[in-house]
Amino acid sequence: MKKLYVSTAVPYVNSSPHLGFALEIIQADVMARYHRLLGEEVFFLTGTDENSLKNIQAAEKEEISTKKLVDRNAKKFYELKKVLNLSFDDFIKTTEKRHIKGAQKLWLACKKDIYKKNYEGLYCVGCEEFYKENELENGLCPEHKVKPELVEEENYFFRLSKYQNELKKIIEQDKVKIIPQTRKNEVLSFINSGLQDFCISRSAERGHGWGISVPGDSSQIVWTWYDALSNYINALGYADNSKKFQEFWRKNDNKLHIIGKGILRFHGIYWIAMLLSAKLSLPNTIFVHGYLTSEGQKMSKSLGNVIDPFELVEKYRTDAVRYFLLREIPSAEDGDFTYEKFEQRYNSDLASGIGNLLARVRVMADGIGFKENNLKTVEPKIKETRKNYKKALEGFKFNEALKSIWDLISFCDKYIEKEKPWEKKENSPQVLGNLLIVLDNIAELLQPFLPETSDRIIKEIARDKKTGEFVNKKRGKLLFPKI
C-alpha cells in the first residue's frame, strides 16, 4: 500500500495557539484525509516545540516554572484536534524521552560535521536564530521587528558550508521539491549567496538549564531548531530504528512537510543538510504557505493581534472556520482575516451556497419524488469538477479545489432555475434524481475539507436501496443558518 507521511511544523508553546497555526494544521489535515480516501496508508504528525528561549521567558513573565507553562500550553495545542476536527495520528512534544533520545542520536550521527568555537552574533529570541547585519531591516529582525541581542560565547557549530553544492543540486533538481516556485527560488538565492556554518548550541547558563543537553557536554544545550527539526523522525521511532521509521521515512518516497514561509530556511536548507550528514533519506516535498494577517498585519503572538481559534469555533462552528481558512486564504500566499470577511464568506458560500442547495433539493424531493436513471445532463460537469479538484489538490491549491466544488454547486442552482421542478413537469423526478447524485459527489469531495458537513449531507440524502425513499423521513436542521 502506498504511504504518505505528512507533518506540520512544531509551534512554540510560549502562549496559546492562534488562527495562523490553525491554517497550517487544517491544510495538513486536508492532505491526510484526501490521501486516506485514495486508499493510501497515512501517518499525520503534529506536536509542540518546548525547548525554546521564548518559552523560558514567557514562564518567567508569568512567574511559573517553564515545565508548568509548556505542559499547560501544549495541552491547548492538542485540544485543537477536537475543536478543528483534525485527524492527526501522533502528537510529539520535544520534551518527551523519545524525542530527546532521537535528537541526541542525530547529533552523534552528525558529529563529523560538528565543531566548537567562540562566536559573537546578533540573536533574535523570537526566531531562535542568529542574523547577519545585512539581514536586518533598520537594525531589527525582519520577522519580529525587534532588535536582536548581542550574544558572545563558545558554542558548537555545524559545517553547513560543506554541503553548499550538494544542497544546490538537490533543490534545483527537485529531489526535495519546494512548492511554490517562489519559495524554491528563495532557497536557491540563499544558497547562492554563500552558506555559512551555523551555531547549534547555547550555553546551559543562557538556556537556564532548560532543553536537551549536548551529548558528552552538559555545559551546552542543543539549539532549539537543531533539536526541533528532528521531531519528524523521532515520532517515527528513529532513536530505536523502529519498523515505523523504516516504513515511513527510510523506505518511503512520499514524505511531506507543511510549513510557514518564515521557517523555510530551517527546513529547506538546515534540515536537509543535517539529514545528509547523518546519511538519512530526505523529505520529498516541502509545501510553504503564507501568513495569516489580521487587517493587513501579520498575525503573531509577539505582535499581540492573534485570533483565538477556540473562540471562533465556539461562535461559528468548526466547518465554517475550516472553510474560511481554506477558501479565503490563497494557499501559498498571505491572506487576511477580519470578522466582516468571515461572515460575508459564511453567508454567501455556506448559508446561501451548499446549505441552501441541500435544503431546496430535499424539500422538493420530499414533495415531488425523484428518479435516478439518466445522468447525461450532470455527468460531464461532475467529471470536470473532479478533474479540476484533483489537479488543484495535487498542487496544494486548497482554495481552487474548493472553488471547483462551489462551481458545481452554482451549476446545480442554475439547473434548478432552468428546469423548475416545483412546476411538476414530467421530468421533475429525473431532475431531482440528478441533483441528488450531484449532492452525493459534493459530499464526497467535501470530506477532506469539511468532514462534518460531508457526513451531514450524506445522512440527509441517504436513500433506501430497496424502496429508493429517504432513510431519514424527517429533514435535518439547516447546515449553515444565516448570520
- Antiparallel, parallel or unpaired: β 335-337 and 292-294: parallel
Cα-only R_g, the chain: 25
Check: CB of residue 220 under 8 Å from CB of residue 204.
yes
Partners of 241 in the β-ladder: none
Q: What is the DSSP letter of 448?
A: T
- pLDDT at residue 126, rounded to an integer: 65
Local mean pLDDT, 10-residue blocks, the chain (483 residues)? 96 93 97 98 98 90 95 98 98 98 98 92 72 78 76 90 98 98 98 95 89 96 95 98 98 97 96 98 98 80 81 97 97 94 98 97 92 86 98 98 98 96 88 96 98 97 89 92 95
Question: Residue 330 and residue 324: Cα distance in Å, rounded?
Answer: 11
CA dihedral defined by 291, 292, 294, 300, rounded to 10 degrees?
A: -60
Domain 343-460 falls in which CATH fold? Isoleucyl-tRNA Synthetase; Domain 1 (1.10.730)
Provide the whole-model pTM.
Answer: 0.93
For 259, counting Cβ atoms within 10 Å of its Cβ (0-12 exposed, 13-18 middle, 19+ buried), the class is buried
Distances (CA, A) of 112 to 157, 202, 383: 11, 19, 55
Partners of 465 in the β-ladder: none
Helix axes 398-419, 318-328, angle to 10 degrees: 110
- pLDDT at residue 208, rounded to an integer: 87
What residues have CB less than 8 Å from 228, skipping those under 6 apart? 10, 49, 51, 52, 94
Question: Residue 248 and residue 173: Cα distance in Å, rounded?
Answer: 23
Question: Residue 225 and residue 126: Cα distance in Å, rounded?
Answer: 12
Question: Residue 257 and residue 283: Cα distance in Å, rounded?
Answer: 7
Distances (CA, A) of 124 to 16, 48, 120, 121, 197: 21, 20, 13, 10, 18
Q: What are the cell numbers at 209?
A: 538549564
Closest CA to 432 of 368, 367, 341, 370: 370
- pLDDT at residue 188, rounded to an integer: 98
Residue-wise burial string across 198-216, b where 16 or more C-beta atoms lie within 10 A, e elsewhere:
bbbbbebebbeebbbbbee
